[in-house]
A = this chain, B = another copy of it.
Amino acid sequence: MARPRQALLSRQRIVATATAVIDAEGLAALSIRRLATELGVQGPSLYNHFATKEEILDAVADAVIEQVDISVFGRFDWRVALRRWARSYRDALTAHPNIVPHLAQGPGRRPTALAMADAVYGGLVDAGWPPARATHIGALMRYFVAGSALGSFARGFVDDPQLYADRYPHLTRAHLLADHQKSVDEGAFALGLDALIDGLARLYEDVVGELPD
């Protein structure tokens, strides 16, 4: 074949297909050859569009973050903005949980991830938070959201009553968790988000005080 008159590949198509493989079979299942097969080309062709596999994973991660709604900062009270952003952030990550370990390494040079960090930090500083606190809040929210998407808590428990019986006196019903995966993880996230924002709002009143309107 050599070079076709119309390019067979594009960065966008590569990223979309990589995302589909990672979603369906996990990070470990994504190899260059496998991805190439899925795209109808040979492995080395991909190196015309990305320098390394790492660059492909970065592009997948950034495309996931592109789904996060950061328009809330500046438009709503910081408590409301933080809550809506955290929900949107979690929704984006739980739609693609297998890429979370890669994405949680930080924004690096990924433009969408940097734009998100900029919006969050800027929103908090504009709301009156001291810069150091704004950094901490951005960090701790990422801890909580990334942790919640990294692996389901409920699915982490094997569905085998024999495993828990006798040995772990309080876990006698843990084998049922997997059946309620979604509501357990959702309930835990909701409770943690409430507690976090409640705790931060109380601190805010001490640190920043009520601002005159």
Q: Which residues of A contact B (CB under 8 A)?
A: 101, 104-109, 111, 114-115, 117-119, 121-122, 125, 132-133, 135-140, 142-148, 150-158, 163-164, 167-171, 174, 177, 184-185, 187-189, 191-192, 194-200, 202-203
Residue of B nearest to A186 (CB): B136
Whether B177 and A135, one on each chain, are in contact in the complex, defined by CB atoms closer than 8 angstroms, is: yes
What separation, in Å, do the CA atoms of A198 and B200 have in the docked complex?
A: 9
Tell me whether chain A's interface is mostly helix, strand or loop, or mixed.
helix
Pairwise interchain contact B114-A156, C-beta atoms closer than 8 A? no
B122 touches A169 (CB 8 A): yes
Q: How far is the CB of A198 from chain B (nearest CB, A)?
A: 4
**Nearest neighbor of A140 in chain B, beta-carbon distance:** B192
Q: Across the two chains, which residue of chain B brings its CB closest to A107?
A: B156
Q: Chain B residues with Cβ under 8 A from A118's Cβ? A: 168-171
Which residue on chain B has the smallest CB distance to residue A126? B170
Indicate which residue in B133, B150, B188 contacts A150 across the interface (CB closer than 8 Å).
Answer: B150
Alpha-carbon distance between A202 and B121 when the two chains are bound, in angstroms: 28
